[in-house]
Amino acid sequence: MVGVLLWLLTGAMLPRGCAEDSCSWFVTGDPLVALGCLTAVAWRRRFPVPVALAVAVASAASALASGAALLAIGSLAARRRPAEIAPVVAAFVIAPLFTTGLYPVGRPPGSPWIQLSLQLLTAGFAVATGWAVGARRAEVLSLRERARSAEREQTALADRARVLERNRIAREMHDSLAHRISLVALQAGALDHRPDLPDEERAVLVRGIADGSYRALEDLRDVLGVLRAEQPDRPEPPRPSYDRVPALVDDARASGMDVTLTVGATGEPPDALGDVCYRVVREALTNAAKHAPGAPVRITLDGAPGGALGVAVRNGPAARTRTGPPPASGYGLPGLAERVRAVGGTLDHHPAPDGGFTLTARLPWPADEPGRTAGTDEPGPRPSTDEPARPSRPGDEPERRS
């Protein structure tokens, strides 16, 4: 459109009745040059600098090609490279000075400077427009790249969250089910190794197996129930805590294990430490039941605020041999080590010289974070201390938790 207007304006400035030879360029040469420039502009994206330079120079000989020249300059300016733009603009501004004889148009004095100024303003407008378009294009590309990057990051975070959640569920299921099932296996092993048991004692063990299986199913239901979105109001299962350690020991004793709990800790540890302490004791009892059936287990809790909460569990060698290798999930001790590290503690486990096994944990106990019973401002109950070893009797029936 710009080229057509300039071409018509030039035609209006030609003298009336000009000779055919003096106006032939305007009628034939100008449109042909414009056609060549329009053809060249189609290649401006592949060869931006050569096309822009050629069209800028050619437009000096064709008023109709001015629009193509401005398009080529604007397209080049969109790349926002001053080293490429400067020579093309210079050619566009200076080239018309050498083509003044193509059109028999009278020019006032000082017209070359006016022409240079107009050419410079026109080129500046084309460069400014192209630069703005290039900046906007770069901004859009940047926003798209940010969106893609954010989407990739969100996908990576979601994948990581799913992996962490799967690991957490695996640890929770291992922690809650392995202990129950190990106690059930311990009682079933007693039935297998003691075929001479009286009917009453055999019935007690059978009830213990049934009770342990029921509790294992309850634990499984609790773990899976938390994952069900259609039951948002379902209460979460009770979390492990320091004051539940004695009940954990009682369950183990009721299943036939010889367990002694000695508590020398002063005060009530924070909830996070109580959670880890409970899990350490539970994992140790589970492993003792699986790997050393019938062995005595000694549990010691000690420490005070401002120091560390120590948890030491040691079991002796197995009192009876197993008929096969114990099952192993691979989540027990590694998962426990992660929990201990999460509170800044250390975990150590190794075989004892007598064939037993020792599991110890040291958990930092801040002096300014006393343990509290949930929902109150009072310290929670402490486990009873110095409990003597109480061998399990076949008549002992595990206490059912509601």
In this structure, are 249 and 346 located in the same domain? yes
Residue 301 pairs in a beta bridge with 263, 311
**Boundary-marking domain end, from 81, 106, 131:** 106
- Measured distance CA(318)–CA(162) in Å, rounded: 39
pTM tops 0.85, yes or no: no
Q: What is the CATH number of the domain that holds 223?
A: 3.30.565.10
Residues 82, 174: one domain? no
Per DSSP, helices labelled H in 46-198 are: 48-58, 66-77, 82-94, 111-193
Q: Is residue 247 part of a domain?
A: yes
Eight-state DSSP code of residue 323: S
d(CA 306, CA 309): 9
Instruction: State whether 224 and 95 are in the same domain.
Output: no
Are 243 and 339 found together in one domain? yes
The whole-angstrom separation of Cα 222 and Cα 234 is 9
Q: What are phi and psi of 181, to 5 degrees?
A: -65, -35
- Do residues 255 and 359 both lie within one domain? yes
305 in helix, strand or coil? Answer: coil
Tokens in use for 147?
């969106």
The reply to whether 171 and 293 lie within a common domain is: yes
In a domain, 309, yes or no: yes
Residue 298 sits at φ, ψ, to 5 deg, of: -120, 125
Distance of CA 173 to the CA centre of its chain: 24
In a domain, 292, yes or no: yes
> Which pLDDT belongs to residue 14?
55
Residue pair 13/6 in contact (Cβ under 8 Å)? The answer is: no
Q: What pLDDT sits at residue 361?
A: 94
Q: How many domains does the chain have?
A: 2
Do 280 and 358 lie in a common domain?
Answer: yes
What's residue 252's pLDDT?
Answer: 84
Pairwise CA distance, residues 301 & 281, whole Å: 10
Residue 99, classed as helix, strand or coil, is coil
Q: Report DSSP letters for 67-93, one per residue.
A: HHHHHHHHHHHTT--HHHHHHHHHHHH
* Single-letter residue type at 97: L
Residue 82's domain spans which residues? 2-106
Q: What is the pLDDT of residues 70-121, one digit of tens each?
A: 888 888 888 888 898 898 888 888 887 776 655 555 454 456 777 778 788 8
Residue 402 lies in a domain: no
User: Any bridge partners for residue 297, and if so which?
Assistant: 259, 315
Say whether both 95 and 197 belong to one domain.
Answer: no
Task: Look at residue 184 and tell me if it is in a domain.
Answer: yes
pLDDT tens-digit readout, 236-251: 566 788 998 998 898 8
- 3-state DSSP assignment of residue 62: coil
Divide the 402 residues of the chain into consecutive groups of 10 and give the mean pLDDT of each group. Answer: 55 53 61 80 87 85 78 87 89 79 52 76 88 91 92 91 79 70 72 74 75 75 63 63 90 84 89 91 86 88 92 85 53 83 92 90 80 41 44 37 32
Same domain, 171 and 102: no
Cα dihedral across residues 351, 354, 356, 362: positive or negative: negative
The residues near 105 (Cβ < 8 Å, ≥ 6 apart) are 10, 13, 14
In a domain, 162, yes or no: no
Helix H or strand E segment including 298: strand 297-303
Are 94 and 173 part of one and the same domain?
no
Instruction: Note whether residue 141 is domain-resident.
Output: no
Residues 76 and 199 placed together within one structural domain of the fold? no
Residue 150 covered by a domain: no
What residues contact 171, with CB distance under 8 A and at least 6 apart? 331, 335, 338, 339
- Count of C-beta atoms within a 10 Å radius of residue 257: 24
Residues 250 and 343 in one domain: yes
Show the tokens assigned to 242: 């320091």
